Amino acid sequence: MSDEEAKQAFVKQIPVVHNCHCSRSLIVYKRIRQLIWDIRNNGDKVFECALTDEKERVLVYALPADLALYDESKPITRDNYFSE
């Protein structure tokens, strides 16, 4: 998703699918809890989303490019969410 789509998902508080590179799996999160601008050690500015689960006990940081809007009618596969 684009930065603007991430902002809209945050405002609407809707579920998102995260393409997690660490576990190589797709994970559905309840909502985007925070939008963050981070400045890395090398000076790069990065826009990130903080995601939370159903119980609000987890906070995972992801780039908008690794997120997609969750659709209950679609099976959770890369082809359905990250085919580009």
Closest CA to 29 of 20, 11, 17, 21: 17
Q: pLDDT tens for residues 59-84?
A: 999 999 999 999 999 999 999 999 86
Beta strand extents in 1-84 (DSSP E only): 16-20, 25-29, 31-39, 45-52, 60-62, 67-69
| pTM for this predicted structure | 0.91
The ranges assigned to domains in the chain are 3-70
d(CA 3, CA 67): 10
pLDDT at site 83: 80
Q: pLDDT tens for residues 21-56?
A: 999 999 999 999 999 999 999 999 999 999 999 999
Band of residue 4 on the pLDDT scale cut at 50, 70, 90: very high
